[in-house]
Structure 1
Amino acid sequence: MAIGSTLPRRALGRRLRELRFESKKSQLAAGLAIEVSKQGIGRLEEGQPVRISTAQFRDLLEFYGADGEARDEVLGLLQEVKAAKGDPSRGWWRAYADVVNPHFDHFMSLEQACSRMTAFQLTLLPGLLQAPAYRRWIVTTTDPAMPSADVERQLELTARRQRRIGEAANFSLNVVLSEAVLRHQVGGPETMRDQLEHLVSVSKLPNVSLRVIPFGATPHLGLVVQSFTLFEFPPLRAGRPPEPPVAFVEGFTGALFLEDDKTIARHREAAAGVREVALREDDTRSLVQKIVEEDSA
């Protein structure tokens, strides 16, 4: 199962954080012990890439007083991170780093590694459901000065991301939309008509669930919750529990990746709440088709 380096890195960071807590060491003390900044230790524990040699990892484990079993576990995870990093089939999206937001590399690592992706959207469709003309309007509106060649690369990136829906046997996409997403004239009537027809087609795939909250729905949690994406992951190894979920919230000028248990629980609660008031999948397709026909009249 190609899960990329995200899951081993997160497991490695989580285990190192546990060992540091057990040894009652601070991030500053750990960093000083191996000549790395406090911020570097923080990024390491969060599962972010940090340049630390194997020798430094061994020194860190010694500083924490880790026993032989813990050492073997951490060094094994480190080897998994290195093996995943060296596989050219993983991290293919990094070739587009110059035309996307700085946080996008981490988002793509999560998107490619997850087994279940749940998205709640208030105004725009998630990237995995965007048709080319719809995506083009978003890109050119967000950055009007973007060269046409880079716009085309953005569209190419989106198309490559969308292959996962049809190709990955261990991936499911669950999307709940406000009816407003269907009504906004993104790119104009023709673009939206094509987009809605694309939605009807994609929603019929066996691993895609698309549901819409109609304007007439009863009051629900989605009215006070921002758009968000919840990533859920398979176990890193057979017989082990699944890797912890991650919630993603994006703003106009930045993004947040949230992992603490209480925050994840709130997002799970929100996802369940919006599903309760959303139309069933068949009724959703009927509503989308109705809007297409209204716009064509």
Structure 2
Amino acid sequence: MPPVNNATLRQRRLGAELRKLRERSGFTVTQAAAHLGVNQGRVSMIETGRSALSADRVRAMASAYDCGDEELITALAGMTGRRTRGWWEEYREHLPAALVDLAELEHHATGLRVALAMHIPAMLQTTDHARALFRAVVPAMRQYEIEHRLTHRIKRQGVLHREAPPPYSAIIHESALRMGFGGPEVARDQLRHLLNMGELPNVTVRVIPFGAKYYPSTGQSFDYIEGAVPQLDTVQLDTHHGGCGFLDAEAQLGKYRAVLDHMESCALDTAESRDFIQELTQDM
């Protein structure tokens, strides 16, 4: 297959996982190339996500590297082929690549867990709330930039409404519920929307109130995107410059899973959270 230009995060992740398998087997790039019957450059391109692969090639590489984890091999084989021309591709020339890659990750996710201290989760935002957030960005965005970001965000939310949607769990600190972006009416509509979204069978919304005994986080917002197997999970961190940072090292994934588990342990349950949001809606 021809080289891939501008590899997506998903393609780079496939290459990185194949590199991990090679390194665990003790093979150098030279040895792997000889074993697979290709040149060293092809192995390097595969491991950087710049060479499209077939499922059969992935299985051959896994066999050469003595990988016996059939679930992982099947998951990696499922990531092969040319770039999926999903709706997100139309934004590749208009938005930072990381935002486009995030939409692709969410599309393929088997589960989504998010934790936020100062903002409503993007997947649960109303159009007016999201527009107010984008208008507050520093430096200010041009109107067409706001519209690109807005339509991209709303289309991302389609993941929660499709047939067989992934489970989505949101842990939101009380401070985020009280921010009031866009004014009282927008804020009330946003809280009502949270209540409605929480009624979906695949969506769970839980609140950590100010009165919680502890808050096991630095306050940084993050998304935990579950892959077909735990090794293929990804953490997405919001950054101050408005982009996305992605983490996928085993130790990092374990840390953020633990943080989410601790946050759930100090959050109100779903019924209590619903009552809590309902009271806030009436107070605004």
TM range (shorter): 0.7 to 0.9
In structure 2, distance between residues paired with 1:218 and 1:173: 25
In structure 2, distance between residues paired with 1:65 and 1:167: 36
- 1:163 aligns to what SS in structure 2? helix
Identity score, percent:
24
Letter in 2 for 1:227: S
Once the two structures are TM-superposed, the CA of residue 196 in structure 1 deviates from its matched residue by: 0.8
1:146 to 141, 158, 168: 141
In structure 2, distance between residues paired with 1:200 and 1:156: 22
1:5-37 deviation line (CA, Å, top 9, x unaligned): 97676445423432244244269x98xx54479
In structure 2, distance between residues paired with 1:213 and 1:205: 20
Does 2:50 correspond to 1:50? yes
For residues 276-295 of structure 1, what are the structure 2 equivalents within 5 Å?
Answer: 276-295=265-284
Once the two structures are TM-superposed, the CA of residue 187 in structure 1 deviates from its matched residue by: 1.8
Q: What is aligned with 1:18? A: 21
In structure 1, distance between residues paired with 2:225 and 2:110: 8
Q: Are 2:222 and 2:237, in contact at CA under 8 Å, matched by a contact in 1?
A: yes
Distance 1:193 1:80, change over 3 A: closer
Q: Are 1:176 and 1:211, in contact at CA under 8 Å, matched by a contact in 2?
A: yes
Distance 1:144 1:134, change over 3 A: farther
- 1:142 aligns to what SS in structure 2? coil
In structure 1, distance between residues paired with 2:211 and 2:144: 43
In structure 2, distance between residues paired with 1:96 and 1:123: 27
1:52-77 deviation line (CA, Å, top 9, x unaligned): 689xx89xx7xx9948999xx99x96
1:237-277 deviation line (CA, Å, top 9, x unaligned): xxxxx553111112112432111222111111111111111
Distance 1:18 1:229, change over 3 A: same
Distance 1:108 1:221, change over 3 A: same
Q: What is aligned with 2:238? A: 250
Q: What is aligned with 2:211? A: 216
- 1:269 aligns to what SS in structure 2? helix
Report the structure, 1 or 2, having the larger helix content.
1
Q: How many residues align?
A: 264
Once the two structures are TM-superposed, the CA of residue 80 in structure 1 deviates from its matched residue by: 5.7
- 1:230 aligns to what SS in structure 2? strand
Q: Are 1:23 and 1:65, in contact at CA under 8 Å, matched by a contact in 2?
A: no
Please list every run of 5 or more consecutive structure 2 residues that lacks an aligned counterpart in the other structure.
1-7, 34-38
Q: Are 2:111 and 2:226, in contact at CA under 8 Å, matched by a contact in 1?
A: yes
Does 2:275 correspond to 1:273? no
Q: Are 1:122 and 1:227, in contact at CA under 8 Å, matched by a contact in 2?
A: yes
Q: Are 1:6 and 1:113, in contact at CA under 8 Å, matched by a contact in 2?
A: no
Q: Are 2:52 and 2:80, in contact at CA under 8 Å, matched by a contact in 1?
A: no
Once the two structures are TM-superposed, the CA of residue 225 in structure 1 deviates from its matched residue by: 5.1
Does 2:221 correspond to 1:227? yes
TM-score (norm 1): 0.75
In structure 2, distance between residues paired with 1:261 and 1:293: 44
Distance 1:102 1:80, change over 3 A: closer
In structure 2, distance between residues paired with 1:23 and 1:283: 52
Once the two structures are TM-superposed, the CA of residue 174 in structure 1 deviates from its matched residue by: 0.2
TM-score (norm 2): 0.78
Q: Are 2:236 and 2:246, in contact at CA under 8 Å, matched by a contact in 1?
A: yes
C-alpha RMSD of the superposition:
3.7
In structure 1, distance between residues paired with 2:155 and 2:175: 27
1:91-119 deviation line (CA, Å, top 9, x unaligned): 31121234433311221121111111000
Distance 1:34 1:206, change over 3 A: same
Please list every run of 5 or more consecutive structure 1 residues that lacks an aligned counterpart in the other structure.
236-241
For residues 65-214 of structure 1, what are the structure 2 equivalents within 5 Å?
Answer: 66=64, 81-83=80-82, 85=83, 87-88=84-85, 91-142=86-137, 145-214=140-209
Letter in 2 for 1:292: T
